[in-house]
Copies of this chain bind each other. A is one copy, B any other.
Amino acid sequence: MHDALRPLEFLLGTWEGEGRGSYPTIESFRYREEARFWHIGKPFLAYSQRTWSVVDGSPMHSESGYWRPLGDGSLEVVLAHPFGAVEVDRGLIEGATIELASSSVVTTPSAKRIDGVTRKMSVAEGVLSYVFAMAAEDQPLQFHLTAHLERTA
């Protein structure tokens, strides 16, 4: 593992668990999630996740991208979303907690517009927890998703 990844080592592995989502424009929902963080010897983490409905097991969201620690306690994250969006975040690593805010979210012409997101993620007692907030569809930045995942590999 590249030395630059030490501050993000606590994320490495495969994580599985459940989450819930809500937003003013949709019905609340619950989901199963699998998230993976891995490295290939370079100074970034590769990341992908998928979610499934807890009701019928159908695939819901997925996203993939890269986490780039900058060596000064800050990091950049670049992500692609299959509904037609890309996301660039900046943030800070403090122990096993990361707080990110988007500097840019670009949506394709066929996708719903997203104006900004924040991500807070932490690992405590073997559980990865995150809260994802979003400003979209003329709604102000607010809670959208939270999940608690356990390391399975």
User: Interface 1/0s, chain A 79-95, versus B by CB < 8 A?
Assistant: 11110111110100000
Whether B48 contacts A64 by the Cβ 8 Å rule is yes
Of A65-73, A117-125, A134-142, the one touching chain B: A65-73
**This protein's copies in its complex:** 2
In the assembled complex, the Cα of A59 lies from the Cα of B40 at a distance in Å of 7
Say whether chain A's binding surface is mostly helix, strand, loop, or mixed: strand
8 A Cβ contacts from A43-68 to B:
44, 46, 48, 50, 58-59, 62, 64-66, 68
Q: Could you tell me how many residues of chain A have their Cβ less than 8 Å away from some Cβ of chain B?
A: 33
In the complex, chain B residues whose CB is within 8 Å of the CB of A46: 62, 64, 82
